[in-house]
Amino acid sequence: MTDIIEAYLKKVLQQQEQVEIRRSEIAQLFDCVPSQINYVINTRFTIQKGYLVESKRGGGGYIRIIKVQVLDDLDMLNTMIEIIGDSITEKDAKSVVQKLYEDDIITKREAKLMLVAMDKSLYTGERVIDNRLRSNLLRTMLVNLKYEEPNKRKADHS
């Protein structure tokens, strides 16, 4: 069911830059509970995946999903570096890498190497420390990509 709801919302977002929904209306449309709509939005429409979500609670409440428009590779790298911040979970780090790969900002090989470096098996098991180390490593990788020769990057994607 979550895949169907996600596909529906993404189809709407292909036709317009943003969609404004009411949780109860979408739940009724798909004959599910409103919390399932929350789950889809919280897991499938994250900033790491290129979406900004705004919500307003109450009687006239809504959830607005906006597809983030990125001007170029450098802008995307800067945005991701900012999103990563000082700490990032393995799941969110993998989402960042996936988004960069899907948007052709990194190659398949770069993505594989980054994913290996994000794997929890390489860390201490102390969540706070691991998330900070993972963040530092991923941000350093992305900063390094920002200063690579643009023509070489384009050739690598071919």
Does 144 lie in the same domain as 98?
yes
Does 60 lie in the same domain as 110?
no
In the listed set 43, 67, 91, which residue is the last one of a domain according to the structure?
A: 67
The answer to whether the CB of 97 falls within 8 A of the CB of 48 is no
Separation CA 21–CA 64 (nearest Å) = 6
Q: Which domain holds residue 125?
A: 73-157
**pLDDT tens-digit profile of 16-75?**
888 889 888 899 999 999 889 989 998 898 877 778 888 877 666 788 898 876 667 888
Does 102 lie in the same domain as 54?
no
**pLDDT tens-digit profile of 101-138?**
988 889 999 999 999 999 999 999 999 999 999 999 99
Does 52 lie in the same domain as 86?
no
Q: Which of 134, 137, 144 is nearest to 106 (CA)?
A: 144
What percent of the chain stands above pLDDT 90? 39
The answer to whether the CB of 70 falls within 8 A of the CB of 52 is no
In the listed set 67, 94, 114, which residue is the last one of a domain according to the structure?
A: 67
